[in-house]
Amino acid sequence: NNFNQNNAELNFKIGKCYIKSTSQEKALDYLLKAQKLNPFVDPEIDYYIGRAYHYQLKFDEAIKSYEKYKNRLSPK
């Protein structure tokens, strides 16, 4: 890949594009890298990570990410 791999926003955008493509399985690595570089890269990072896990049939991880996203939207 010919891009700045340590740019959280760019990793997030690439992962988001893969989620919306026919190659959803490629999204997770980019999204996890973006989150590792900057946990607040985007308010929807946990949602997209949840979707990426969901597409890989990793339902427990998907649920955890969806819950984290939900809690961020409406803190208890």
Looking at residue 76, what is its pLDDT?
Answer: 57
Looking at residue 7, what is its pLDDT?
Answer: 95
Whole-prediction pTM:
0.90
Low pLDDT (below 70) residues in the chain: 1-3, 75-76
Asked whether the beta carbons of 18 and 24 are under 8 A apart, the reply is: yes
Dihedrals φ, ψ of 38, to 5°? Answer: -155, 100
Asked whether the beta carbons of 4 and 13 are under 8 A apart, the reply is: no
Q: What is the rounded distance in angstroms from the CA atom of residue 54 to the CA atom of residue 47?
A: 10
Looking at residue 4, what is its pLDDT?
Answer: 79
Looking at residue 72, what is its pLDDT?
Answer: 85
